[in-house]
Amino acid sequence: MSLPNDITGTPAEPRSVGFGPLTATVDYTKLRALPANKYPDYFNRVHQLFTGLEIDLWSQIAQYQGEDQLWLAHALYLYGANRDALPDDFDHTAAVSRLVGRATLRTAMPGAENDAFEREVLRASGWVRGAVVRKLAPPDTAVAAKLNLIYNPPGSDQDGKGETKVGPLQENVLKELPDLLAKVVDEQLRHWVPPTGTKSEPESLDHLRRIADFLQMFVAVGLRPYADSWEEGPYFDGFRYSERLQSTWELPAGPAQLLNWMMNRAQAVGWDRQRGALLVKANYDATRAQDREKLRALLRERLSTDPALSRRVGAMIKLTAAHSGGEGNISVQPIFPSPAWGTKSDWRWRVIRTLVHELMHRLAHPRFRETAEGIRHSQIIGEGFVDLLTVDVYTQLWDAVSKSGRGAQVLLKGLDATKQPDPSFLKVGYGEAGASAVAIRDLVGGDNVRAAFFLGATHLIGLPPRQ
């Protein structure tokens, strides 16, 4: 496929291209002097230089179209000119392989406006990820000790020195949690019951899909150089938010889903100090398989012996926004809640926040998500950081919209465009998990958090990757 260069004039060289704290040098002067008949030798030599492997790269790309070869020649040259910014253990062989594969999937040619070519090459190769992580320092020993106490909060028992510790699971305390969860289910369901004699009103999924695509672009720009710089992530695998957005009514609500919903809420409610912090009092430790299974068994038993609760939880599944994990779908509610919850404009602002939150789930690096298995308060990873970054994006969004005469009208289409988001939408939620994520960011800094979350550099927030 041939793409136009979108050239409005040859960009000046040498010049710099910025990626947040990073700067890449751009100057193809010497490359442009290379005649086409020298390309075979050029490709083979730079491949050996970067990888140390004596492989005939030209034989792999000789069949490429002229623009494909031109793209790759410039991409390798740009990468080579800036490789000193990468850590010593960076995998150059993998980077070259990614660029070879990207040549036929490219989205911009050399000379494109706004340095689109350079931004594509340096992100797709992994250069941005590698260079930005190299610039950040992991927490020192003192900070790491503080982080450990946040990830693994002490329990309700005392050791010989009178300090709290996580002792054996207190099953008698844990047994109080299902009753508390049943009350929470009833509280949340009341938000969806329409007034007598009325019906729930539909929300436009088509409009929400348009908002979703806008948010995908907004996040890429607003959280650079992190959100869109994982070379194997959603911004490079063809993910389009609108195509993955569906109604929560499509979600399955069988026994496994009922239990998973209850386990998720048990984490949020059980750590909540305002609701008694039952998981703390019970010495619950998410790293202990027997603790997790005991909680699952309690909830499974309650669901099997309480058909009314099971029906209510099933209804909540159909009314709870969700990300099904991996490359799965993202689900949002297809109706407005009861007017008792708030206005339609309130709800639209809330749904927009939800769309950001669920997108963060999709963008979280697998290595980051896996660390939840190694800490006691696993929901810090599963939801706390997700909502922390959601608020970062949502705050940027509201700041942009508040300065635009049409911004709110576009997002709220058909609703009261003068209605501002509720202030609570600009605060990190998920109780103790969210508060803990904020505390961790205060200790290590926002850049470290973003590099861990989006790029998998979990050592930057005191969490080595799971082995």
Residues 171 and 292 in one domain: yes
Q: What is the per-residue pLDDT across 275-301, written as a single tens digit (0 to 9) for each?
A: 998 998 999 988 899 999 999 999 999
Count Cβ atoms below 10 Å from residue 110 Cβ, excluding itself. Answer: 24
The total of structural domains in the chain comes to 2
- 130 vs 418: which has the higher pLDDT: 130
Number of H helices, E strands in the chain: 23, 7
> What six digits make up the tokens of 265?
């809420």
Q: What value does the mean pLDDT take over residues 1-24?
A: 67
pLDDT of residue 3: 36
Residues 265 and 358 in one domain: yes
pLDDT at 426 over 70: yes
pLDDT at 321 over 80: yes
**Geometric angle at alpha carbon 364, from 234 and 90, rounded to 5°:** 80
Residues 386 and 322 in one domain: yes
Residues 294 and 438 in one domain: yes
The Cα 295–Cα 266 span in angstroms is 9
**Geometric angle at alpha carbon 86, from 11 and 10, rounded to 5°:** 5
Residues 131 and 150 in one domain: no
Where does the pLDDT of residue 162 fall: very low under 50, low under 70, confident under 90, or very high at 90 and above? low
Q: What is the per-residue pLDDT across 432-462, written as a single tens digit (0 to 9) for each?
A: 999 999 999 999 999 999 999 999 999 999 9
Q: For the purposes of burial, counting CB atoms within 10 Å of the CB of 364, is it exposed (0-12), middle (13-18) or buried (19 or more)?
A: buried
Q: For the purposes of burial, counting CB atoms within 10 Å of the CB of 424, is it exposed (0-12), middle (13-18) or buried (19 or more)?
A: exposed
> What six digits make up the tokens of 418?
């003068």
Instruction: With CA atoms as reference, report the closest residue to 272 among 356, 384, 186, 361.
Output: 384
Looking at 95, 114, 135, which one is the last position of a domain?
135
Residue 140 counted as domain residue? no
Residue 1 counted as domain residue? no
Looking at 111, 135, 159, which one is the last position of a domain?
135
What residue numbers bound the domain in which 319 lies? Answer: 146-461
Where does the pLDDT of residue 6 fall: very low under 50, low under 70, confident under 90, or very high at 90 and above? very low
Parallel, antiparallel, or unpaired for β 157-158 and 15-19? unpaired
The Cα 85–Cα 459 span in angstroms is 20
DSSP structure class, residue 196: T
Contact 441, 388 (CB under 8 A): yes
Q: What is the per-residue pLDDT across 353-400, written as a single tens digit (0 to 9) for each?
A: 999 999 999 999 999 999 998 998 999 999 999 999 999 999 999 999
Residue 4 counted as domain residue? no
pLDDT of residue 2: 33
Q: For the purposes of burial, counting CB atoms within 10 Å of the CB of 137, is it exposed (0-12), middle (13-18) or buried (19 or more)?
A: exposed
Residue 323 counted as domain residue? yes
The residue written with tokens 């996040």 in the block is 219
The Cα 202–Cα 15 span in angstroms is 52
Strands (E), 288-409: 322-323, 330-332
> Which pTM does this prediction carry?
0.89
- What burial letters (b/e) apply to 280-292, b meaning 16+ CB within 10 Å? bebbbbbbeeebb
Residue 467 counted as domain residue? no
E strand or H helix at 262, and its extent? helix 255-270
Residue 206 counted as domain residue? yes
Residues 106 and 162 in one domain: no
Instruction: With CA atoms as reference, report the closest residue to 395 among 343, 353, 354, 435.
Output: 353
Looking at 73, 104, 135, which one is the last position of a domain?
135
